[in-house]
Amino acid sequence: AKQSLKLKVLLHGITYMKSSASKAARVGHERPRISFGTAARAVFEGGDALDFELCRPQLLGSSRTVASCKTPLIEVLRSTHIDSPDANVWDLDMLATGTPNKVVGSLVVEVIRKLKLYAAG
C-alpha cells in the first residue's frame, strides 16, 4: 500500500513548516512523486542549517522520520539575492533514517529571500 508522507522544515530544532500528509502518484512512466505544494514564510533566527524531514504520520503520537537532509544555512543565504523575484532551486538528496548513505528520494526546494526592516522604538 502507498504510504502517506509529510514534509517538515526545521531550523535549530524548531519546526518552521509542516505539510499535510500526501501519497505518491505516478504520472506516465515517471517515478512516483509527491507534490507537497507548500509555501511557508518564516523569520529564521539562530541555527546553522535548514533540516528537511520526510515523515510518516502515526495514528497516535508524533510522526516518524523516514528520511532527512541538512543544508547549511550559509549556502542558502549566499545563493539567493535579497528581494529577487527569481527563486533559487535546490535539488536535495533525502537520506534514509538509520542508513545515512542510502538515498531514498530527492526533494526540489525553491527558496526566495526577502528582507523587510521596520523601525522600532
Looking at residue 78, its pLDDT comes to 76
Model confidence at 83, in pLDDT bands (50, 70, 90)? low
Domain assignment of residue 118, yes or no: no
Residue with the larger pLDDT of the pair 11 and 66? 66
Average pLDDT over residues 42-62: 81
Model confidence at 110, in pLDDT bands (50, 70, 90)? confident
Q: Which amino acid is at 119?
A: A
| CATH number of the CATH domain containing 23 | 2.60.40
Total tally of structural domains belonging to the chain: 1
Task: Give the DSSP per-residue string, 3-70.
Answer: PEEEEEEEETTEEEEEPPPEE-B--TTSPPB------------S-SEEEEEEEE--SSSS-EEEEEEE
Cα–Cα distance measured from residue 79 to residue 8, given in angstroms and rounded to the nearest whole number: 22
Sign of the four-CA dihedral 41, 92, 11, 66: positive
Domain assignment of residue 84, yes or no: yes
Domain assignment of residue 103, yes or no: yes
